A and B are shown apart, each in its own frame.
Chain A
């Protein structure tokens, strides 16, 4: 996760857009209207990118949100570098996070884009033609530079305000969680693991 964060930061160095989706409770959302048909979203490879912003190195207070729902908090969209090559998504991931209210909400997953820092895959959620959420499904893991940046930028944490919590690989031997009752155990991943063994 830490690496992911720095990866974002690293990417930002030569990169294009940053989308701050939602401000703090008091401020108005900064979500942008999508000018064009939002077909499968590829983090705009090359092309005339409007004045790319650098990811702020310091924690930005507007990146926190009081929204109790997952995936609705502010997040940044890593964009590909111009040199990026595209390959088809290896394993399309599913999400169940579509926020309940509002008109036609849909989720679009972009392809995995390779760049010099590693692979990036982004998923966006649209309500009408408005982007309401962006989640990075895959981010580069290993680069010396991003590690370095991470130390500079993040101090001891994965992020000043943290990354939006995401789903991870289910390839585990056991699960740590607050499993208080036998009923909740039956519905847990741990129970599924136990049954499989």
Chain B
């Protein structure tokens, strides 16, 4: 919760690295730095990650009336005067709207809400920065959207479970890899809250969609779009270049790409 020293990063840890969890963007964000770096350096890296995520939250949250997103939405801040990040994010959202045939829609709620892309993008940027800073082995999980690089402190590739859609304490699939973005969208959490923007009705048919790629912002948006598409999303995911997927249908069927990086 609160920032500060984490027991995982102390000298008592048998494995190198640092683990820290904080609440940002309305969800829990778990960071696992697996590099064998001096504790002070790890703490600084972790501090940078969470500072960045809090900054994104302050600027992009739809729950904060003073965020850039809300000010642009109300017309108070001209888009041209907004930050480069926001302009880039909105450009990506427009691309995604086209790529998903309108199913990813930053205006689905009737007002500007790029949240479906922002969280994954923010985590991806944080991971890119860690890599550039020399922390090549890390795992960053923001509310179930995961970016892993390198290996865990055990020395093996990161193992990423996909949550069982009917059991929060179980996984239904285990992936492994050294460079993966894994995003899962599902209706089990808040009911059928994903809207089919075309019918303006809750999407049905797919209980959980996991997309695996290299960019977490894209993976997250694709997963959300596929849930909105319902059963047709399965075929759409299959045609998506450079991405793998796993789908659990409302009637408890699990389907996935044959080349999904299973553990």
Chain A residues at the B interface, C-beta cutoff of 8 Å = 1-2, 64-73, 96, 150-151, 154, 156-159, 161-182, 184-185, 187-194, 197
- Give B231-263 as 1s and 0s: 1 = Cβ < 8 Å from A's Cβ atoms: 000000010000000011111111111101011
A96: which B residues are within 8 A, CB to CB? 167
B164: which A residues are within 8 A, CB to CB? 165, 167-168
Q: How far is the CA of A64 from the CA of B250 in the complex (A)?
A: 11
Q: How far is the CA of A172 from the CA of B141 in the complex (A)?
A: 13
User: Given A162-B255, A182-B28, A175–B172 Cβ distance below 8 Å?
Assistant: no
B139 to A157, Cβ gap below 8 A?
A: no
B146 at the interface (CB under 8 A from A): yes
Q: How far is the CA of A192 from the CA of B159 in the complex (A)?
A: 15
Q: Binding site of A, secondary structure by majority: helix, strand, loop or mixed? A: loop
Chain B proximity of A187: nearest CB distance (Å): 5
A169 to B171, Cβ gap below 8 A?
A: yes
User: Given A168-B161, A197-B8, A158–B258 Cβ distance below 8 Å?
Assistant: yes
A177: which B residues are within 8 A, CB to CB? 144, 162-163, 168, 184, 186, 189, 208
B21: which A residues are within 8 A, CB to CB? 194
Chain B proximity of A149: nearest CB distance (Å): 12
Give 18 new A-B contacts, CB below 8 A, not counting A170-B170, A197-B32: A1-B256, A2-B262, A73-B252, A168-B173, A173-B158, A173-B159, A175-B141, A175-B162, A175-B163, A175-B171, A177-B189, A177-B208, A178-B188, A179-B163, A180-B27, A180-B143, A180-B189, A181-B189
User: Given A173-B159, A176-B162, A162–B253 Cβ distance below 8 Å?
Assistant: yes
A164 to B169, Cβ gap below 8 A?
A: no
Q: How far is the CA of A169 from the CA of B176 in the complex (A)?
A: 13
Which of A151, A169, A197 has the largest count of B CB atoms less than 10 A from its CB? A197
B86 at the interface (CB under 8 A from A): no
B172 to A166, Cβ gap below 8 A?
A: yes
B252 to A167, Cβ gap below 8 A?
A: no
Interface residues of B, count at CB 8 A: 62
A169 to B174, Cβ gap below 8 A?
A: yes
B185: which A residues are within 8 A, CB to CB? 178
A169: which B residues are within 8 A, CB to CB? 161, 171, 174, 263
Chain B residues at the A interface, C-beta cutoff of 8 Å = 8, 19, 21, 23, 26-28, 30, 32, 139, 141, 143-146, 148, 152, 158-175, 182-190, 208, 210, 238, 247-258, 260, 262-263
Chain A proximity of B192: nearest CB distance (Å): 12
- Nearest to B262 among chain A residues (CB) is A1
Q: How far is the CA of A177 from the CA of B76 in the complex (A)?
A: 36
B30 to A174, Cβ gap below 8 A?
A: yes
Q: How far is the CA of A96 from the CA of B165 in the complex (A)?
A: 14
Interchain CB contact (< 8 A) of B258 among A150, A161, A162, A194 = A150
- Nearest to B30 among chain A residues (CB) is A194
B254 to A158, Cβ gap below 8 A?
A: yes
Interchain CB contact (< 8 A) of B249 among A151, A156, A162, A191 = A162
Chain B proximity of A29: nearest CB distance (Å): 15
Chain A proximity of B4: nearest CB distance (Å): 15
Can you identify 9 A-B contacts, CB atoms within 8 angstroms? A2-B256, A68-B251, A154-B258, A156-B258, A158-B254, A165-B164, A175-B144, A177-B168, A194-B19
Q: How far is the CA of A173 from the CA of B152 in the complex (A)?
A: 8
Interchain CB contact (< 8 A) of B171 among A164, A167, A194 = A167
A178 to B28, Cβ gap below 8 A?
A: no
Q: How far is the CA of A180 from the CA of B116 in the complex (A)?
A: 12
